[in-house]
């Protein structure tokens, strides 16, 4: 189990990283733990869960999403092809 210096960091680690800016999402893929991951897009609605702006070193458009227990956020996301960038 990974330990974090503050409760807020541990809470954030339990959420899903989201970006409102596609370029920042692409830049985040350069981080070692995200290397090789694909970028997906979604239109999120309040019934999915709670979302909070959590700016990161990859950019200010970073948000963290904590889905509700009954939510199925994976049904909302679609892959973005490299051609659309």
Sequence spans of domains, the chain: 14-84
Give me the sign of the Cα torsion angle 24, 17, 61, 4: negative
Cα–Cα distance between 73 and 18 in angstroms, integer? 12
| pLDDT score, position 48 | 93
Q: Which two tokens stand for residue 42?
A: 């979604």
35, HSE (Cβ side, Cα atoms, 13 Å): 4
| pLDDT score, position 83 | 46
Q: What is the pLDDT of residues 12-71, one digit of tens each?
A: 778 888 999 999 988 888 888 888 888 899 998 889 999 999 998 878 999 999 999 999
């Amino acid at each position: 189990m990974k330990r974090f210096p503050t409760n807020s960091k541990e809470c954030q680690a339990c959420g899903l990283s989201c970006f409102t800016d596609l370029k920042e999402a692409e830049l985040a893929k350069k981080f070692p733990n995200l290397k090789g991951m694909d970028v997906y897009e979604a239109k999120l609605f309040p019934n999915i869960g709670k979302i909070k702006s959590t700016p990161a070193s990859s950019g200010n458009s970073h948000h963290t999403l904590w889905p509700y227990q009954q939510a199925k956020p994976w049904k909302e996301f679609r892959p973005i092809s490299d051609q659309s960038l």
